[in-house]
Every structure is written in C-alpha cells, then in structure tokens.
C-alpha cells in the first residue's frame, strides 16, 4: 500500500524489548478476496493499495506466522494474525512492506456498547485498550512525541502534559487513521510451541479509520525499512532478516503462506530451485525496499526501455511492495511491456475495451494456454534474474477472462512497483544486515 506523500498519520509498533524462549516467532499471513458475499472479486475490482555486516540471531530457531490471501473480502491484500495487550486480544493486520508504521482499530476510552464490534458488512475486531493492563499512552509533552515521532505525523496539540500523543495519517489511496500512541505488549507463537511476549512496543490506537483496502483487516503491520518498523525490530532478534511467501492471490483461506523472522530454512518452507540474490537498496526510496534493475525481457528479447526508468539517482528505480496489488510500471517501461504481451494474446477476443480502470488489456480466455505467452524476465544490474510465473502477469479476472496484470504509473520520473500478485508463489528473503534480497519459486508449503 504505497504512500509516497502521507498526509494523515497511522499508528506504529516498535519492538523496544523482547522476552521469549530460544525459539523462532511464528506469524500467519492471509490474503483477503474470498470472504466477499458474492465470492472472489476479479482483479480489476480488487485494485481500487550501514554497511553490510554480520548479524547474529538471539534465538536458536526462526519465527513463522501463517499468511493467507484476503480474497474472501474482495480486496487484493494478504493478512497476518497476532495478539496485542495483556491479556492478548486477537488482531488481523495487513503485512505491508510499503509502510513503516503499524496500527490497529482501537477504543482508547470506552463506555457501554461504544466499544463493541463495529456494525458493518464484515467481522471487525476493535482493540479494547481499557481492557489491557499493559497499555500505556505516550504523553504529548514527552520528547518521544515532540521530537522522535514528529516525522511520523504526531500532532502538536497538547491540552495537558499527560494528554496522549495523537497522530493523523493517510495513505495515497485515501485510507486514513487517527488516534493516539501508546506502549503495549504483543504476543505470538514460537516454532517450539511456546509463546513470546514483546513488551514496551510503541503502537498506534486508531479510534477513527477508513479505507476500502482495510476490508477484513484491523489495521496495518508495517514491514518497511524504518526505525519504527516491526520488521526491522523483529528481524534484529533473528539474524537481521525476514521473509515471506505469498500464495496465489485467489487461494482460499485454507491455503497458508508464511511470514518468517530469521532463516526460512528453519521454517521448512521449500524452494523449487536455487535461491537467487541481488542487492537490497535501503534508504534510496524512502522506507521502501528497492532493487537495481537493468531491464526487462519478453521472449528472450530485451525491451527498449530508457535507462533512467531504473535509475535510483534520477528519480526512477524499482521497489517491492506487499501492500500493492498490481505491478506498476512507469510509462516508458509499461508501453513496451504491454506491446510485447498484447502481441502474444492478440488471437483472443478483447473485452472491456474502452472501460476506464487500472487493467488496460483483458481478453476472452476460452482455449487459452499459458504456453502461448513468452516469458517475462526482470534483469538486475548484478546479473540476477527474476522470472515470475505467467499467471502472475496474465491474471484471472472473471471466469473465461484474463488481463495483462500491469498498471500505468505515468510519465514520471517516479519509481516502479513490483506488486504482490507478481510476487506470488515466490519466497522473498529481505536480509537487512547484508543488504541482500533472496528469491526463489515456491509453493509456500
């Protein structure tokens, strides 16, 4: 859920202390398009979001959270479960590498039925702060609020010294959240069957939030590269790395993926081929995880794409975003990619022609065979190659209709985005300590 210029403010979670046995954490990722009353929605309706060093793990095993598609809710995201508070309250969050903040729907002060479950078209959990003995607000007069959180859109309003530090945050897609900062405890399972408690965590208690991309979710799990990111703090306890494997975006909830802190090998996630690696560029595009791309080929032919499209130093570049559904290419890259792929499927009747939407080219897929589509390959500067599955760029829309799964990012200059559909059925390892991105095809089993 990329947000180039956030205007309002979300809440986030910082792991300041860790109290757990010597084992890995276990998280579960979920995708949310299948809980929609009418069944899974088609993708065109889903898209309406230090130098290298050796880092030692503090634990003897990796942490793992099951991750699932959110297709049941009719949106193109994934979901992960964890507990917050004392005693722990269940939450379902969107794991988002495009966000550096973590927040949840919350009631800070509750009276009567005001803290009950929201009345809406889907089940929604609201964190009851008044029922947690470990919930401690951050005073608005504190240095943390006035200085440390200033870049995270904390508000300057301070009616009294002990009044909670407030925030006001929004995403580019219109999603927003308003609330207060607090310190809290989160709890999750370990691979040895025990529980880990992460205390003194800075969280955002959002008393007001909205956004279609939040359907089925209670908030956002920030996995971006930032001092305030859950991923950075959790990864620090497990060797400086985290990874995830996203199942097919239309998979039912019974098909789990994985969010892992530490080595994916400890989590028993199989990779169908040797893992490939490329440089992970940190800090070049805000808190996003950027990579150095040399070009894109289709059918073995390098496309004529200007070098500046991939140049991080000239406003271009590429980053991975688990919270964005489609892959967004700047127009100088989008047009040659679409031209090459349209040529491969021109024998099929085009549909939706003339309709306005992010998916420009869709066709009647009766009799379609993936073998007619030339393989698309992303070439990195250091020689690594990412070869996504055909189903990740010629994607299902409705029965008997497929679409070319790219969105036009405009003339630029700006960065292109590798969305979560393009990332599906691959294991992605973000080695923050070594500044290296690993990836390999996987069923996520």
CA 346/CA 351 separation, integer angstroms? 12
CA 321/CA 334 separation, integer angstroms? 18
What tokens were used for 269? 């996630």
Nearest to 200 by CA among 179, 183, 212: 183
Q: Which of 100, 148, 266, 321 is catalytic?
A: 321
* C-beta of residue 205 within 8 angstroms of C-beta of residue 182: yes
CA 95/CA 68 separation, integer angstroms? 11
Look at strands 394-396 and 401-404 and give their pairing.
antiparallel
In the residue annotation, 321 being an active-site residue is answered as yes
CA 392/CA 259 separation, integer angstroms? 20
Nearest to 95 by CA among 343, 348, 423, 349: 423
Look at strands 166-170 and 289-291 and give their pairing.
unpaired
Surface-to-core class of residue 226, CB atoms within 10 Å of its CB (0-12 exposed, 13-18 middle, 19+ buried): buried
Q: What is the dihedral of CA 323, 132, 13, 222, to 10 degrees?
A: -10
What tokens were used for 303? 């496309």
Give SS3 for 284.
coil
Q: How many CA atoms lie within 13 Å of 388's alpha carbon, on the beta-carbon side?
A: 24
- The Cβ of residue 211 has, within 10 Å, a number of other Cβ atoms equal to 18
CA 201/CA 163 separation, integer angstroms? 19
Q: Which of 96, 100, 218, 431 is catalytic?
A: 96
CA 135/CA 104 separation, integer angstroms? 13
What tokens were used for 439? 């990836």
- Residues annotated as catalytic (active site), given as ranges: 96, 321
């Amino acid at each position: 859920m990329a947000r180039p210029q956030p205007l309002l403010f979300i809440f986030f979670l910082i792991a300041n202390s860790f109290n757990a046995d010597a084992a890995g954490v276990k998280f579960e990722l979920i995708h949310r398009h299948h809980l929609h009353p009418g069944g899974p929605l088609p993708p065109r309706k889903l898209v309406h979001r230090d130098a290298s060093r050796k880092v030692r793990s503090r634990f003897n095993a990796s942490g793992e959270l099951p991750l699932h598609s959110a297709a049941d809710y009719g949106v193109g995201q994934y979901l992960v479960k964890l507990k917050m508070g004392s005693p722990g309250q269940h939450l379902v969050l969107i794991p988002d590498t495009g966000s550096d903040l973590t927040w949840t729907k919350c009631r800070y002060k509750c009276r009567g039925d005001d803290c009950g479950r929201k009345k809406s078209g889907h089940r929604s959990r609201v964190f009851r702060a008044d029922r947690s003995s470990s919930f401690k607000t951050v005073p608005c007069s504190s240095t943390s609020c006035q200085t440390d959180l200033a870049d995270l859109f904390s508000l300057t309003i301070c009616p009294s010294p002990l009044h909670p530090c407030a925030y006001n945050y929004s995403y580019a897609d219109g999603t927003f959240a308003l609330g207060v900062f607090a310190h809290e405890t989160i709890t999750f399972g370990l691979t040895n069957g025990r529980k880990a408690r992460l205390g003194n965590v800075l969280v955002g208690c959002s008393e007001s939030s909205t956004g279609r991309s939040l359907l089925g979710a209670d908030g956002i799990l920030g996995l971006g590269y930032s001092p305030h990111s859950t991923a950075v703090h959790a990864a620090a306890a497990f060797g400086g790395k985290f990874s995830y494997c996203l199942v097919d975006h239309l998979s039912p909830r019974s098909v789990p993926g994985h969010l892992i802190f530490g080595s994916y090998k400890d989590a028993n996630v199989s990779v169908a081929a040797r893992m490939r690696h490329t440089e992970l560029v940190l800090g070049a595009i805000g808190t996003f995880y950027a990579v150095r791309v040399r070009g894109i080929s289709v059918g073995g032919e390098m496309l004529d794409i200007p070098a500046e499209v991939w140049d991080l130093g000239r406003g271009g570049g590429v980053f991975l975003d688990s919270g964005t559904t489609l892959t967004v290419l700047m127009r100088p890259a989008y047009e040659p990619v679409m031209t090459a792929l349209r040529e491969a499927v021109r024998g099929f009747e085009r549909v939706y022609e003339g309709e306005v939407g992010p998916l420009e080219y869709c066709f009647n897929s009766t009799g379609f065979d993936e073998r007619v589509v030339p393989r698309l390959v992303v070439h990195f500067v250091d020689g690594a190659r990412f070869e996504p599955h055909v189903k990740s760029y010629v994607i299902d829309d409705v029965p008997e209709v497929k679409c070319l799964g790219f969105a036009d990012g405009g003339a630029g200059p700006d960065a292109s985005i590798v969305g979560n559909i393009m990332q599906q059925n691959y294991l992605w390892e973000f080695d923050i300590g070594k500044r290296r991105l690993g990836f390999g095809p996987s069923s996520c089993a």
